Amino acid sequence: MQVKKNPKFDLNRNSGLYFVIGLTIVLFLTWRALEYKTYPKDMETLSMAMAEDDLKEEVPITEAIKTPPPPPPPSAPEVIEVVEDTEEIEETIIESTEISQETVIDAVIAVDDVEVGEEEEEITVPFAVIENVPIFPGCESARNNEERKECFQKKIQEHIIKEFNYPPAALELGIQGKVFVQFLIDSKGNIGSIRMRGPDKNLEKEAHRIVASLPQMTPGKQRGRSVSVPYSIPINFVIQ
């Protein structure tokens, strides 16, 4: 005869589920036990605070020192005696050093001893409108002012080409550009007041050297008088 079991009373039916539930509960309790923290109570701090509140500061009792009042000022005498000043004092007279209109100053100056120098005023006339332009050495044979201008400009170009030397520093860096130079030919034919404006200091320095090496010229004239003449020229620095 075979024994039949009721599936409702089978103890092994849900054993896996019970095992998982039990394992979860154990792990949860273990985690809470590891995470549980305790903190010491600040009993000492509390006791110190309470002790400070119980302290009472004893204020020493001081006695006020009574100082006697100052004596009263002496009273003025009833009768005031007036003493006459019998001693004579010599007064010091300070003489004024200022000169009045009545003071006469005798000064004789010989007219021959006075030198009167005439200071000539420097007159500047633009190159485009001057009657007689400055004469560059080699342009003396020009017949009129227009031919002198053409010869002057031609000689300036020749001088720049002859004296031109590209600055090594600017050449190495590949710097090029146009330098505008303005200078003055004074009433004695000398070159001065050189001013430059360009893209680089090395190019400006070379332009100054070229213009400063210009020879002395015959000064320009306006109405028969030697005058100063400004002149401008661009120097183009190009690397080929």
100 has a pLDDT exceeding 70: no
Tell me, what's the pLDDT at 77? 59
Q: Give a yes or no: residue 161 inside a domain.
A: yes
Q: Give a yes or no: residue 187 inside a domain.
A: yes
Q: Residue 219, exposed/middle/buried by CB under 10 A (0-12, 13-18, 19+)?
A: buried
| CA dihedral sign, ordered 228, 233, 132, 148 | positive
Tell me, what's the pLDDT at 70? 79
pLDDT band, residue 59 (cuts 50/70/90): low
Q: Which two tokens stand for residue 153?
A: 């400009």
Tell me, what's the pLDDT at 128? 85
Q: Are 212 and 226 in contact (CB under 8 A)?
A: no
- Tell me which residue of 204, 209, 199 sits closest to 159, measured CA to CA: 209
Q: Give a yes or no: residue 6 inside a domain.
A: no
Q: Give a yes or no: residue 138 inside a domain.
A: no
Range of the domain at 232: 145-237
Please tell me the distance from the alpha carbon of residue 212 to that of residue 159, in angstroms, as a whole number.
11
pLDDT in tens, 102-151: 555 454 445 455 465 555 667 888 888 888 889 889 888 888 888 888 89
Q: Give a yes or no: residue 53 inside a domain.
A: no
Tell me, what's the pLDDT at 55? 47
Q: How many domains does the chain have?
A: 1
46 has a pLDDT exceeding 50: no
**SS3 call for 143:** coil
For the residues 154-168, what does the mean pLDDT come to? Answer: 89
pLDDT band, residue 195 (cuts 50/70/90): very high
Q: Give a yes or no: residue 217 inside a domain.
A: yes
- Tell me which residue of 142, 151, 148, 154 sits closest to 130, measured CA to CA: 148
For the residues 27-52, what does the mean pLDDT come to? Answer: 66
45 has a pLDDT exceeding 50: no
Tell me, what's the pLDDT at 17? 83
- β-strands 177-185, 229-237 pairing: antiparallel
> Which residue intervals of 39-180 are DSSP H helices?
43-54, 145-163, 168-173
Least confident of 91-95, 186-190, 221-225: 91-95
HSE toward the beta carbon, residue 64, CA cutoff 13 A:
3
Tell me, what's the pLDDT at 42? 52
pLDDT in tens, 207-239: 999 999 999 888 888 888 889 999 998 988 888
Tell me, what's the pLDDT at 97? 52
Tell me, what's the pLDDT at 238? 85
Q: Give a yes or no: residue 214 inside a domain.
A: yes
CATH number at residue 195: 3.30.1150
Q: Give the distance between the most distant pair of CA atoms in the chain.
A: 177
pLDDT band, residue 83 (cuts 50/70/90): low
Please tell me the distance from the alpha carbon of residue 173 to that of residue 206, in angstroms, as a whole number.
16
Collect all residues with Cβ–Cβ distance below 8 Å to 201 and sequence separation of at least 6: none
Q: What mean pLDDT, rounded, does the chain reach?
A: 76
180 has a pLDDT exceeding 90: yes
Q: Give a yes or no: residue 128 inside a domain.
A: no
